[in-house]
Amino acid sequence: MAAAPVVASRRWTRETLIALTAFALFALLPVLAAGLEDTFMVFFAIRVMVFAIAAVSLSLILGFGALVSFGHAAYLGLGAYSVAILAEHGYWDVTISLPVTLLVCGLFAAVTGAICLKTRGVYFIMITLAFGQMAYYTATSLSAYGGDDGLTMWGRTEILGSGMLSDRTTFYYVVLGVLVFCYVLARMIVASRFGRVLQGAKQSEMRLRAIGIDPYWYRLAAYVIAGMMAGLAGALLANAAEFVSPAYMTWHRSGELIVMVVLGGLGSLAGGIVGAASFLVLEELLSHVTEHWRLIFGPFLVLVVLFGKGGLMALIPGGRKND
């Protein structure tokens, strides 16, 4: 009986080391980029961290709750549009945009999640896909805010009237701080009693019900939290690009987020960070080789899934597949 806690402790310790290493590398990257006079490296790292936040949020419900959401990118788009539309009407300050972003994404997740979680398996996947596409087509129909062409933001969100986020390095470290916060929050959730119920529902919902626990409300709460985290990533993405587009919330983007989580390793929050970074780096490198880079990436993903059970996290030196 004592073996399980030891294995779990070893897994969490190893994951913490990997996450801390990733955060340290992100923290040092602007210094390296300045030495190499490479501004693209910083912009690319911001994109990686933004999608890492979205991947961590999806990992919370997919890796620990077995909820395969094919509409998770909808929250990315909702967060981005919340910030951009407020800016369009002159509301630039984070004290307004942040609460509105979290409220919009939280409400959408609560309403759609309450319906989706009444189903299981492929039905859950298809309903989340349907809601995601509904959000996408709603965005394309907003002709007042660019429609298919998207909406340009003429600047970045302000903090108490200050335009400090206009500085690239400052914005970079704000994004890093949000990534660290989301990872720590997700880690605390998974390690709590709430997280144990979520994981218990993944293993055997019948046993939980037998002891008087209804997993539905736990799953809904996790679904809302994940949606709000992804919305936060969307708000940062809008500020990074100073542009929003309905393309942020397509089912293709949702599929890419799932690939990031699976590539990094299911059941690992740090795996979401590793998966997002690996996916985007490979996309950048392979796209310079051929426009059909997915033909190369596809077999690579299959090999990782088949031979690296646990994703890339299991292939990192010192890892164990049964961790």
DSSP-assigned beta bridge partners for residue 159: 162
> In the prediction, which pLDDT does 10 show?
57
pTM of the model: 0.92
Residue type, position 112, single letter: T
Mean pLDDT of all residues in 18-23: 92
Among candidate residues 223, 244, 253, the one with its CA nearest the CA of residue 129: 253
Taking only Cα atoms into account, the Rg of the chain, rounded to an integer number of angstroms, comes to: 19
> 24-42 burial by CB neighbour count: b if 16+ within 10 A, else e?
eebeebbeebeeeeeeeeb
Among candidate residues 49, 15, 53, the one with its CA nearest the CA of residue 29: 49
Residue with tokens 């007042």: 144
Here the tokens at position 187 are: 């880690």
Is the pLDDT reported for residue 88 higher than 60? yes
Torsion of CA 128, 74, 59, 66, to 10 degrees: 0
Mention the CATH class of domain 3-315.
mainly alpha
Is the pLDDT reported for residue 308 higher than 80? no
Is the pLDDT reported for residue 295 higher than 60? yes
Lowest-confidence pick of 57-71, 118-132, 200-214, 270-284 = 200-214
Could you read off the pLDDT of 224-279 as tens digits, one per residue? 999 999 999 999 999 999 999 999 999 999 999 999 999 998 888 999 999 999 99
Please say whether the beta carbons of 55 and 272 come within 8 A.
yes
> In the prediction, which pLDDT does 317 show?
62
